[in-house]
Amino acid sequence: MQNNPIGIFDSGVGGTSIFKEIHQLLPNESLIYLADSKNAPYGTKSKEEIISLSVKNTELLIKMKCKLIVVACNTATTNAISHLRANYQLPFIGIEPAIKPAALQSQSKSIGILATKGTLSSELFHKTTNLYSQNITVVEQTGTGIVELIENGALHSPELKSLLKSYMQPMIDAQIDYLVLGCTHYPYLIPILKTILPENVTIIDSGLAVARQTKAVLNLHDLEKTISNSPEIIFYTNGKTDVITALTEAKYPVKFLNF
């Protein structure tokens, strides 16, 4: 099992931001990435639909002999990971918005959260927010339209920058000093967000924390690959292969798979 790949899935290309952190921390590990772009975004779907899609992705990765699965999607984690853990034997790593460090470190006592509707409306998100947001102003913003633009290769479009400006203005008005990114697509927005937000605003995403947790769980289950031969890395998408190729700088093979 140690030489088997780690599986990663997301509702599209966003989880490639998580892939990069995992690959950097665990360079010997083989990785299989599933981009379910055909069904993106998950954030607008019902909990039942999100669970069904997550099960489909999980079973495909199990067929590919993955030893551990990273649910590189905030919406899938908050809505489906409990179901996955209850129904499958292998370990799962989830991702959720990094509200805790933002709330604990904020000096202005005002933080912003940019996330999908599916994440912001989930029970897990509300529990976490209520736990850490005492005496803190939390400005929530649903990132409507962002995932679709990134999936269509419009990351650097004027339309996306205009959308982000409108989403950030209420947060700027509330004098946030931390912005929590609650979707794995959103780290690709950081260069644009830095041109919009005041310099004192710290932007937090969960990528490195997920990579560290992946390493910890591999060690816990004695699954970490110890042989330092060339790992196999492959991306599968049921959407546009060129979008992943661009985001990963054409370093790895990207294949179309109708799943």
Whether the upstream peptide bond of residue 41 has omega within 30° of 0, thus cis, is yes
Task: Write the CB contacts of 200 (distance below 8 Å, at least 6 apart in sequence).
Answer: 177
Encode pLDDT of 149-167 as tens digits.
Answer: 999 999 999 999 999 999 9
Q: Are 154 and 145 in contact (CB under 8 A)?
A: no
Report the C-alpha gap between 259 and 179 in whole angstroms: 34
Give the confidence band of 1 by pLDDT, cuts at 50, 70, 90: confident
Q: pTM for this one? A: 0.90
Q: Are 42 and 13 in contact (CB under 8 A)?
A: no
Give the confidence band of 230 by pLDDT, cuts at 50, 70, 90: confident
The two three-digit tokens of residue 34, written as one number:
């599933």
Encode pLDDT of 60-95 as tens digits.
Answer: 999 999 999 999 999 999 999 999 999 999 999 999
Alpha carbon 64 to its chain's center: 21
- Rounded to the nearest integer, the mean pLDDT of the chain is 95
Give me the active site residues, please. 73, 183
